[in-house]
Amino acid sequence: MPANTMNEDLKRERQRCSFDPKELTYLLDGGEEKTEERRQREKFFLDDPELSETAPSDYLSHKEKYEHAVKKACIVFKKVQQLQAQGKAGMQNFREVLGGQLGSAILRDGNPLGLHYVMFIPTIMGQGTIEQQAEWISKAWNLEIIGTYAQTELGHGTFIRGLETTATYDPATEEFVLNSPTLTSYKWWPGGLGHTANYAVVVAQLYSQGICHGIHPFIVQLRDEETHLPMPGFENVRIPWNYMLMKNGKVLKDGSYVKSPSSKLTYGTMIFVRVVIVQDAANYLRKAVTIATRYSAVRHQSHIKESAPEPQILDFVTQQHKLFPQLATYFALHYSGAWLWDMYNNVTSELESGELDRLPELHALACCLKAVSAADAAQGIETCRLACGGHGYMSCSSLPITYGLVTAMVTYEGENTVLLLQTARYLMKAWQNCLDGQPLTPSVQYLNSVRRSFGGVYHKSVPWIIASMQRIAAGKIETAHRHMNDKIKRGVNSEDAWNETSIELVAASEAHCKAFIVETYYNSVQQIVPSVSQQLGKALTELCELYAVNTLLKNIGDLLRYSNVTTGDLENLQRWLEELLAAIRPNAVGIVDGFDINDAIIASPLGAYDGNVYERLFAEVSKSPLNAKPVNESFHKYLKPLLKSKM
């Protein structure tokens, strides 16, 4: 590959950009100093020859991939420790390096230590008493033990009240006795459970004094700390009394049970991970859209005008319509995720002082935001893949693997439909409160005002779109509430009525979440614009408008159903969408440059900063062991005899 050459199209794109991409980078990182720290951190890992790939792991066997991943995870861990010793890394960096975008670039095939940091340590922090935290966290932090989070069983993932593993307290020995009595009670899915972890937080039904107190977390040793041989399976496994995490519910030594202030505090780690997923989903989408945008600026194909040369595919408006909403969705999820993270931290500290009032609202928002961000990011990444034509299908493009990572988010940590139904529970109560004139929490305040007006006159503004989306959400919430109550009035019991209305309930949740995202995104941009250059402010505003217009246009049917919008208004919206695509076009490459994703994290010949797509693609396929020899042995072994036998 010619060294240090920059693709001419990308050079031109960079000259066209109206703002300085560095300003965007600093904005997203939280300042120039933070950008520098992040770059240094990335360099520290990515420049390590032991961590860089000599050959893609695609060509390794399953076993080799695992061993390779363990080796790298250990190197990464040691390096994080080095940073920590220099005061340059904390818990957040552990997560970033071991679980986030940087981690997934280094550990392409998954991180055997991921669950240790993302769930094992956070569960001990959130569910353990001070003494238990003191005992386990330092061990876990220093990797004296390796943990995972073992909740899901072969028979139950969603319905955790139905888990079958039991932990029965024996006051005579002051121990819990754990049992997984059936095939379906087998712990199934937990990351690292197979070969890596030697401890787990096991979620099991607590029995004491003959009474079942529901699910609770227990620390269980899985493997010998020296030999790593598995401990005997889950039949009458005895663990000491203080291995039950007892910050919330507890069992006293005599076996009496002390209830938690809320049984749902046991679900705390899941809320934490749902909050984290919103940011992670956004970051993976940002990587995919960087690849697809740069590629689309380099790739030429077909004609717009027969007389002109083949255009960059980014000049096709349909291509812009595929990619630019993904750029905007990244920002929308980024700002909503940041908002949710703040709320999570505030509510968590309120919980510490015994205040539980805002937990239901946090749960409702975390559920729907996790669901919508995972689904939209997955769909966005797939759109980016398709936008790269055949090359997007290649595994070396990194798009299929990125999609694979994000589509798993739709299922884990609460399957999306199930989570949207959790939010719907909250919304149904909120609507009832609205009808009864009861106070509403901030995220559903809009129900009161929307209830009083059916629609406002179209004007070309994001606030009008927010109001329209809130009208749609309120309309859907009202319809689902009414339909469910109609059924109940007709004698259907309330649980069946819930199930029969669940399609509408899910739709109501999604609409509520989309309205929330647009509003949060808009408010964030409004706050940022005065503090950045006029050019960047304009670009950020255009992206926000694009997200709003595009989201509304995707819901034309609902808009017509729930507001007094006219067909003329819809035509105006369509025109606005097209204007925005044209306005964003010159800045598209500048925006993805502003994301400042290191080429080693991009890990795609289609999306490198220099745009040498074809050279890099060629170099990539040359790495395949299959291409090492001109004739593969299978020709002599199988094909040749077959060809001969036909003669």
Ligand X SMILES: Cc1cc2nc3c(=O)[nH]c(=O)nc-3n(C[C@H](O)[C@H](O)[C@H](O)COP(=O)(O)OP(=O)(O)OC[C@H]3O[C@@H](n4cnc5c(N)ncnc54)[C@H](O)[C@@H]3O)c2cc1C
Ligand Y SMILES: CCC/C=C/C(=O)SCCNC(=O)CCNC(=O)[C@H](O)C(C)(C)COP(=O)([O-])OP(=O)([O-])OC[C@H]1O[C@@H](n2cnc3c(N)ncnc32)[C@H](O)[C@@H]1OP(=O)([O-])[O-]
CB of 153 to ligand Y, least distance (A): 10
DSSP 415: -
Q: Give the integer Cα–Cα distance in Å for 329 and 323.
A: 10
Q: Which residues contact 425 (CB under 8 A, 6 or more apart)?
A: 364
Region of 593 (left: φ > 0; alpha: ψ -120 to 50; beta: rest) is alpha
For position 206 contacting ligand Y by CB under 6 A, the verdict is no
DSSP 436: T
Residue 225 annotated in active site:
no
CB of 89 to ligand X, least distance (A): 24
Q: Which residues contact 136 (CB under 8 A, 6 or more apart)?
A: 124, 128, 145, 219
Question: Mask 410-429, x = binds ligand Y (CB under 6 A)?
Answer: --xxx---x---x--x----
Q: How many residues at the interface with ligand X, by CB under 6 A?
A: 20
Is residue 152 annotated as involved in ligand binding? yes
The one-letter code for the residue type at 230 is: P
For position 267 contacting ligand X by CB under 6 A, the verdict is no
Nearer to ligand Y, 281 or 588 (CB): 281
The stretch among 41-49, 71-79, 410-418, 534-542 that binds ligand X (CB under 6 A) is: 410-418
- 460 touches 452 (CB < 8 A): no
For position 371 contacting ligand Y by CB under 6 A, the verdict is no
Q: Which of 22, 34, 78, 161 is close enough to bind ligand Y by CB under 6 A?
A: 161
Is residue 191 annotated as involved in ligand binding? yes
- 199 touches 145 (CB < 8 A): yes
Phi/psi for 331 (5° steps) reads -65, -40
CB of 84 to ligand X, least distance (A): 25
CB of 122 to ligand X, least distance (A): 12
For position 124 contacting ligand Y by CB under 6 A, the verdict is no
The one-letter code for the residue type at 169 is: Y
For position 109 contacting ligand X by CB under 6 A, the verdict is no
Q: Which of 23, 315, 361, 415 is close enough to bind ligand X by CB under 6 A?
A: 415
For position 484 contacting ligand Y by CB under 6 A, the verdict is no
The residue annotated as part of the active site, out of 13, 413, 504, 542, is 413
From ligand Y, ligand X, none, interface partner of 6 (C-beta below 5 to 8 A by class):
none
Q: How many residues at the interface with ligand Y, by CB under 6 A?
A: 23
From ligand Y, ligand X, none, interface partner of 422 (C-beta below 5 to 8 A by class):
ligand Y
Q: Which of 104, 148, 152, 551 is close enough to bind ligand Y by CB under 6 A?
A: 152
For position 418 contacting ligand X by CB under 6 A, the verdict is yes
Q: Give the integer Cα–Cα distance in Å for 547 and 553.
A: 10
Nearer to ligand Y, 269 or 587 (CB): 269
Nearer to ligand Y, 485 or 555 (CB): 485
Q: Which residues contact 643 (CB under 8 A, 6 or more apart)?
A: none
Q: Give the integer Cα–Cα distance in Å for 159 and 338.
A: 29
Considering only residues 135-164, where is the footprint of ligand X by CB under 6 A? 149-152, 156-158
Q: Give the integer Cα–Cα distance in Å for 513 and 521.
A: 12
Give the 3-state secondary structure of residue 220.
Answer: strand
Q: Give the integer Cα–Cα distance in Å for 238 and 231.
A: 11
CB of 267 to ligand Y, least distance (A): 3
Nearer to ligand Y, 161 or 459 (CB): 161
Considering only residues 260-299, where is the footprint of ligand Y by CB under 6 A? 264, 267, 270-271, 273
- 133 touches 139 (CB < 8 A): no
Residue owning tokens 């669950």: 115
Q: Which residues contact 616 (CB under 8 A, 6 or more apart)?
A: 1, 605, 606, 608
For position 160 contacting ligand Y by CB under 6 A, the verdict is yes
The stretch among 156-164, 233-241, 317-325, 584-592 that binds ligand Y (CB under 6 A) is: 156-164
Q: By beta-carbon distance, which residue lies closest to ligand X?
A: 157
Q: Give the integer Cα–Cα distance in Å for 520 and 523.
A: 5
Nearest in space to 208 (alpha carbons), one of 264, 245, 253, 260: 253
Nearer to ligand Y, 65 or 425 (CB): 425
Give the 3-state secondary structure of residue 32.
Answer: helix
**How many CB atoms lie under 10 A from the CB of residue 155?**
15
CB of 268 to ligand Y, least distance (A): 7
For position 559 contacting ligand X by CB under 6 A, the verdict is no
For position 351 contacting ligand Y by CB under 6 A, the verdict is no
Q: Describe the crossing of helices 567-584 and 534-553 by its angle, rounded to 10 degrees.
A: 140
From ligand X, ligand Y, none, interface partner of 417 (C-beta below 5 to 8 A by class):
ligand X
- Helix count and strand count (H, E) for the chain: 27, 8
Nearest in space to 290 (alpha carbons), one of 617, 580, 21: 21
Residues of this chain that interact with ligand Y (CB under 6 A) are 118, 149, 151-152, 158-161, 191, 264, 267, 270-271, 273, 359-360, 363, 412-414, 418, 422, 425
* Catalytic residue list: 413
Residues annotated within the binding site for FAD are: 152, 191
Contact footprint for ligand X (CB under 6 A): 115, 149-152, 156-158, 189-191, 408, 411-415, 417-418, 421
